[in-house]
Structure 1
Amino acid sequence: MADSTPFSHVIVGGGMVADSAARGIREVDASATILILSDDVDEPYTRPALSKKLWTDPEFTEEQVPLDTAADTGAEILLRTTVRAVRPDAHEVVTTDGRTFTYGRLLLATGGRPVALPLDDASDGGRSIAFRTAEDYRRLRALADAGGSIIVVGGGYIGTELAAALVQNGMAVTLVHTGSVLGDDVFPADLARRFEQMFRDAGVELVGGSRVSGGAVDGSGARLELENGDELRADAVVGGLGITPETRIAEDAGLVVEDGIVVDEFLRTSAADVFAAGDVARYPDRILGRRRVEHVDNAQEMGRSVGRNLAGADEPYTHTPYYYSAVFGHRYEAVGTLDASLDTVEDWQEPFERGVVYYLDGGRVVGVLLWGVEDRRDAARAVLAAADELTPDDLRGRIR
């Protein structure tokens, strides 16, 4: 059944991109009608707080998480709504409950689904969480408030943030990761050892070089089987293993998909009047080349840019995003590629407290890590933009 009212803009996905896009539309067009279709149970909210400030800043509360998208932009938001299909030729979106909405321009901001653990959890009693949403945060908070033990699986930035947050909130935490040293896939060896020691000093039990091969979760707790035959038990388990971009409806609609939905510099897909942005979009970065970025800075900046373009601004997306993490009072930021297998140039002002690490591929800078260094992201971008002219000897002292 077709909806009787066509919308100027339909946004599929209800995350931070949807919020920023609605605001971007309003910068250009005050009267356009906006519909956001979200399979979440909450209206758009600030996602980074779920693994950071809500756990560590007592002055930051759940009431500060919602972004007030509908109130601020006038967008209509339908929650618990899953899109089944997109029909670009007809300018239609079809939901799983049988409704059809027509649009002038469409934005796919479908993000990604968390990588699931290989566990039997049909009746887990809320004790197994693939962490992604505000609802996941509420479930995890309830477990933390009850105390007890928990296994965190994943040594990336979400897994490490969750492990740090939970141990600081009184849980007995075991962190399972695949590296020989925590963070050794990202940081130079000495920094990785320092990073790992922060977790040990806080009381986190580290199980490195390990992958979860199976196990089960029920109302009484979690049992994890590791590939080496070891077994771990705890009251609950949470996965921080990253996401898989949600591209199914784009693929079914015939859009070009290659590790995400491929877009041009204006964030247009291969179909007329269909745009994509955020975690799911593979875009041409003006400095770093074509890539897909799963971080909040990109969600906000790309969301605003695509919203303006939905409304007719026709402006290229020129922002090179950064990402950040914070554990145990240490904040680090990065632009570009961080890969510990690359050559590095380390420039420490205060060892392992404040400094810059440059990552080089064939002698060319491809990534910059700012450890304890604030407000220097533009300087990092400038280094990456000038990579062809810089030698390793030019790097030390370049960012202070």
Structure 2
Amino acid sequence: MHHDYDFLIVGGGMVADAAAKGIREQGSEGTIGILGEEPTPPFPRPALSKKLWTDPDFTFDAAAMHTSEETGATFHLGSPVTGVDTEARTATTAAGDTFGYGTLLVATGGRPRRIEGLEPGDRVLYFRDLADYNRLRELAQGRPRVVVVGGGYIGSEIAAALSQHDCEVTVVHPGEVLGDHVFPDALARRFESLFTDAGVRVHGGLKAVGGREDGDTVVVELSDGSSLEADVVVVGLGISPDTDFLPADVARADDGGVRVDERLTTSVPGVLAAGDVAEYPDRILGRRRVEHVDNAGEMGSAVGRIMAGSTETYDHTPMFYSDVLGVGYEAVGTLDASLETVVDERDGGAVVYYLDDQEVRGVLLWDVEVDGGLDQARAVLAEHARPTDASALVGRIG
């Protein structure tokens, strides 16, 4: 079958929702088509590893995004795109359907990184979407043994959530201390203690290098030659940009993401990109690709308005956050524990500055509430400088 839309969005996540609403916000009445590989409409991804596990009063209805109802967009779910012809202005799906477009938005996000031998299935989840949440929630009712591979945002949040549902949880990660790739040593040790105090077994200094299913048991093979047996394995090792379906004339970044300018336009007229997949020129931080919800929402709204005729540029510097086991943090910029850090202790919390030889690169607000703290952090980063005495940063925020 063939369909034509004024605005065609490839990808059915949060960026698609925000973009469709941005198109309407700009006043356009053009037709909107959304091609989603997943079988469900857009849903707030952070809820899948946070509030749906921790807040009994938080419901699916409360989180629903109501994209079609609010924008009139037509969804084609379960429709992975296999190719785009930028000259003919068409996209083709795995089912062989073609979709003509006036303007195309690439909002495909990324695909989870895999471990050889651990194929996704009923007991091996590369946690990413609503179907993964539904399956894991079903499995959690049996209080299974769960191995979580990866100690980043998804891994730590899922491990925390499962530990609060009486599952037997083990986390495997490559660092010496959980979180030590992003937090200074003292905070990383406090972070890990949140998990061990909750009964989570933490195996540091190890990578999962393979695995297999053996009946109802999943075996995870580790880099030291040992292995772990589990009823369920959840893998959270990050994503790779989903861009294989795009032609060569759409310029890529070094990591495979789509390069865009300040108006989120690619190297091909009429083709834009936003969200996890887009490498863009941040006005403060420089070129980067950001895989966080604040960027998805803000960039999605902006790209929708731009598609519908707005002359704006994308000038938002996004934040990111996490909540685990009663502790929450927010941050802007680069959190890299190999950088110099200045820790400003605050009544059990902290403000942490990350510096290189020339400037402050990132700011972390760990378990503190500061009115306007993120905007203050952005202002510090925008100075592109560092004091001669780095300890002078103490007290800058708050």
Bin for the TM-score computed over the shorter chain: over 0.9
Aligned equivalents of 2:214 and 2:317: distance in 1? 44
- Does the CA-based 8 Å contact 1:150-1:235 persist in structure 2? yes
- Does the CA-based 8 Å contact 2:6-2:102 persist in structure 1? yes
1:31 positional shift? 1.1
1:311 is matched with 308
1:253 positional shift? 4.5
1:272 is matched with 269
Name the stretch that deviates more: 128-137 or 92-101.
92-101
Aligned equivalents of 1:121 and 1:277: distance in 2? 29
Aligned equivalents of 1:219 and 1:14: distance in 2? 34
Three-state SS of the structure 2 residue aligned to 1:248 is coil
Which whole-Å deviations, capped at 9, do the CAs of 1:49-86 have from their partners, x for residues lacking one? 00000110111122333211001111001100011111
Gaps (5+ residues) in structure 1?
none
Three-state SS of the structure 2 residue aligned to 1:388 is coil
Query: RMSD value over aligned CA atoms?
Result: 1.3
Aligned equivalents of 1:120 and 1:296: distance in 2? 28
- Give me the TM-score of the superposition, normalised by structure 2: 0.96
* Number of residue pairs matched by the alignment: 393
Q: 1:389 to 1:236 in 2, by over 3 A?
A: closer
The list of structure 1 runs, each at least 4 consecutive aligned residues, that deviate by more than 4 angstroms after superposition, is none
Aligned equivalents of 1:223 and 1:249: distance in 2? 33
The amino acid that maps onto 1:164 is A
Aligned equivalents of 1:106 and 1:269: distance in 2? 10
* 2:196 paired with 1:200: yes
Three-state SS of the structure 2 residue aligned to 1:116 is coil
Aligned equivalents of 2:118 and 2:110: distance in 1? 22
Three-state SS of the structure 1 residue aligned to 2:141 is helix
- Give me the TM-score of the superposition, normalised by structure 1: 0.96
1:236 to 212, 232, 235: 232
Counting aligned pairs with the same residue, the percent is 55
The amino acid that maps onto 2:355 is L
Which whole-Å deviations, capped at 9, do the CAs of 1:130-157 have from their partners, x for residues lacking one? 0000000001101111212100000101
Which whole-Å deviations, capped at 9, do the CAs of 1:253-308 have from their partners, x for residues lacking one? 42110121000000000000100000000000000000000000000000000000
- Does the CA-based 8 Å contact 1:188-1:344 persist in structure 2? yes
Three-state SS of the structure 2 residue aligned to 1:369 is strand
Aligned equivalents of 2:230 and 2:84: distance in 1? 43
1:35 is matched with 33
2:135 is matched with 139
Match runs of 1:253-264 below 5 Å: 253-258=248-253, 259=255, 260-264=257-261
Match runs of 1:1-400 below 5 Å: 1-3=1-3, 6-121=4-119, 124=121, 126-250=122-246, 252-258=247-253, 259=255, 260-350=257-347, 353-374=348-369, 375=371, 376-388=373-385, 390-391=387-388, 392-400=390-398
- Does the CA-based 8 Å contact 1:332-1:370 persist in structure 2? yes
- Does the CA-based 8 Å contact 1:43-1:66 persist in structure 2? no
1:394 positional shift? 3.3
Which whole-Å deviations, capped at 9, do the CAs of 1:213-257 have from their partners, x for residues lacking one? 11212541211111111111111100011111111123x242110
- Does the CA-based 8 Å contact 2:118-2:124 persist in structure 1? no
- Does the CA-based 8 Å contact 1:127-1:218 persist in structure 2? no
1:363 positional shift? 4.1
Aligned equivalents of 2:326 and 2:215: distance in 1? 34
Gaps (5+ residues) in structure 2?
none
The amino acid that maps onto 2:20 is A
Aligned equivalents of 1:377 and 1:203: distance in 2? 33
